[in-house]
Structure 1
């Protein structure tokens, strides 16, 4: 006769029913989860960032919006009369001209920066020398943040009316002037092109080698590959880079102020003049209205940039 095997007792460590044999960790886990939910969960870590954003950006934005709709003459007395005259004046006359000039300068430099930055980034990505890639990307990171007074001084010393390069090649005789719309655009490209290289390089890295090989197997030329495969995939990233360059050029102030002054009308320069009272005294609220115009343009730029970034991330992930 065959004897049935004796059942092996289950260890207490595997008892997760919460009975007397269950370990202490089984009962502590739900308690810890409830404790994390009580503290706010993942949102608790974001509280300092949200507080910084509210203080550093929310309060100034609220002050700008409030001041833009406040009558300048009553702002000092505290009456706070509501008016739309500041916004109306900010889109008329010289202020409207300055806004259009800023948009034109930003769009032009962003377009040229995108056209130059793409082939440079492609050369970096396809380089067989790792040292060259690291050097170019490091230099791009430095040059993309090189602006303001140092950049203006560098261009004045090299391409100004008495600059070394200007005298060496007699550029003045050929109609060159640094203190013009074209000269300011060239100065902006100095930091916009490196910024485009940094922006588009990850997207170029995301292009898979299999796509190029598949195009080559179908007897596609390099031009056909870029036209029908690479550029359609890179288009969201290219447009996103263009928008990012546009925003950087649109917000730039110190370089233009130090280099061209009031020669080229810019909205940032008009804000500085209104705040300092160089043209009219007591136009601080008009400057806030001009700042609100810039915020509206920046919001429109970000509204275009964020969806493009999400779309390109889906393609290149």
Structure 2
């Protein structure tokens, strides 16, 4: 008994001695997070509260944040939030329908094709995406000309599809948000256990009752977390909106571009940092919410 206790103690001591080495593999990760997230965030927060005073001296104050949260800049933040919310909800609904069709498909080709396409399209954005839509449904796009000549309809005047407006930008955002939703919600749909449906059928539950009382509550945290993820993606998108509207769309990322380009008032050189900080304040809680919802749904969907 004494020898056994000594072996256990020596093994425990060895594990304790080797514990720091088990964290050595995380050093690159923490270094990456520190250099590309924590340090830039600290610099942005520092710059956001630096105000140039008289004589060129710099002091700390809230003038930049006050300017960023008032007037046209507040309107831009509100426009960014509402645009992102609309895009996120629409993409979430359409994406979950498409993902459900894939998850319940019996064929092996369709799921692989949709998953591969979603992985590619979810990362397709910026100037190439803007050029794609301009070439397709722009003022002289292929589809625009075809509909005009063949059907006598104008996509802009008759169907209300103005690619260079706020609605047009939202329409383009769905191109990469829907595939992103498919990627994040498909594992959750595949995690619904067949026994749950069989048990519900055995108890006489109808299809809508199964989704209302069983599958729906199990998927709801993952679905809400996915909406938060889509919102953050749309909220931070910049290049596509800038290319389509030539920077005239009133959203916060384009306002930051204007501030970095020197399009600010004298003494407000750090206004761009204040605008960026306002975006961080919005995005970080939603990112944490996404992680929380993912963890909560993983209790059931494994």
Q: TM-score, normalised by structure 2?
A: 0.90
Question: Residue deviations 1:213-233, cap 9 Å, x none?
Answer: 112222222222222221111
Does the residue aligned with 1:295 lie in a helix, a strand or coil? helix
Residues 27 and 279 of structure 1, relative CA distance in 2, 3 Å threshold: closer
In the other structure, the counterpart of 1:97 is 75
RMSD: 2.3
Contact 2:102 2:110 in 1 (8 A): yes
The one of 241, 247, 262 aligned to 2:247: 262
Deviation at 1:26?
10
Contact 2:51 2:267 in 1 (8 A): no
- State the alpha-carbon separation in 2 of the partners of residues 263 and 96 from structure 1: 16
Gapped runs of 5+ residues in structure 1?
1-14, 19-24
Contact 1:233 1:315 in 2 (8 A): yes
- 1:27-106 matched pairs, under 5 angstroms: 32-33=14-15, 35-37=17-19, 40-72=20-52, 79-106=57-84
In the other structure, the counterpart of 2:225 is 240
Residues 56 and 262 of structure 1, relative CA distance in 2, 3 Å threshold: closer
In the other structure, the counterpart of 1:192 is 177
- 1:11-22 matched pairs, under 5 angstroms: 17=3
- State the alpha-carbon separation in 2 of the partners of residues 27 and 220 from structure 1: 56
Does the residue aligned with 1:172 lie in a helix, a strand or coil? coil
In the other structure, the counterpart of 1:10 is none
Contact 1:72 1:286 in 2 (8 A): no
- State the alpha-carbon separation in 1 of the partners of residues 215 and 12 from structure 2: 50
- State the alpha-carbon separation in 2 of the partners of residues 261 and 191 from structure 1: 21
Deviation at 1:29?
5.6
- State the alpha-carbon separation in 2 of the partners of residues 166 and 282 from structure 1: 47
- State the alpha-carbon separation in 1 of the partners of residues 9 and 224 from structure 2: 53
Deviation at 1:277?
1.4
Deviates further, 269-278 or 137-146: 269-278
- State the alpha-carbon separation in 2 of the partners of residues 95 and 316 from structure 1: 42
Residues 117 and 33 of structure 1, relative CA distance in 2, 3 Å threshold: same
- 1:155-194 matched pairs, under 5 angstroms: 155-169=133-147, 170-174=154-158, 175-194=160-179
Contact 2:49 2:62 in 1 (8 A): yes
Count, aligned residues = 294
**2:203 corresponds to 1:218:** yes
Contact 2:133 2:172 in 1 (8 A): yes
Residues 27 and 303 of structure 1, relative CA distance in 2, 3 Å threshold: closer
Gapped runs of 5+ residues in structure 2?
148-153
Deviates further, 282-291 or 187-196: 282-291
- 1:112-127 matched pairs, under 5 angstroms: 112-127=90-105
